Amino acid sequence: MIKTKTKGLLTVISGPSGAGKDTVVSEVMKQNKNTWLSISCTSRSPRGKEKNGVDYYFLSKDEFEEKIENNELLEYAEYAGCYYGTPKEHIEEHLNNGEDVFLVIEIQGALKIKELLPETLFIFILPPSMKELKNRLENRKTESKKKIIERFKTAYKEINEVTKYNYVIVNDEVKEAANKVNAILTAERSRVDRIEEVLLRNPEEEMHELLLKYEKDFENKDIKID
Does 206 fall in a domain? no
CB 36 within 8 A of CB 101: yes
Nearest alpha-carbon partner for 87 in 111, 100, 71: 71
State pLDDT tens for residues 90-120. Answer: 898 999 999 999 999 988 889 999 998 988 9
Count how many domains the chain has: 1
Average pLDDT, the chain: 84
H or E stretch at 171: none
What's 183's domain CATH number? 3.40.50.300
**Does 20 fall in a domain?**
yes
In a domain, 111, yes or no: yes
Q: Which amino acid is at 163?
A: T
**What whole-number percentage of the chain has pLDDT above 90?**
45
pLDDT digits (tens, 9 = 90+) for 122-169: 999 998 888 887 787 777 766 777 777 777 777 778 888 899 999 999
Instruction: Evaluate whether residue 108 is within a structural domain.
Output: yes
Q: Is residue 54 part of a domain?
A: no
Q: Is residue 203 part of a domain?
A: no
pTM of the model: 0.74
Q: How many CB atoms lie within 10 A of CB 77?
A: 18
Per the CB < 8 A criterion, the answer to whether 57 and 42 are in contact is yes
In this structure, is residue 145 part of a structural domain?
Answer: yes
In a domain, 91, yes or no: no
In Å, what is the CA distance from 115 to each residue of 1, 38, 91? Answer: 34, 19, 17
Domain encompassing residue 187: 2-39+100-197
Give 47's pLDDT tier (boundaries 50, 70, 90): confident
CB 170 within 8 A of CB 126: yes
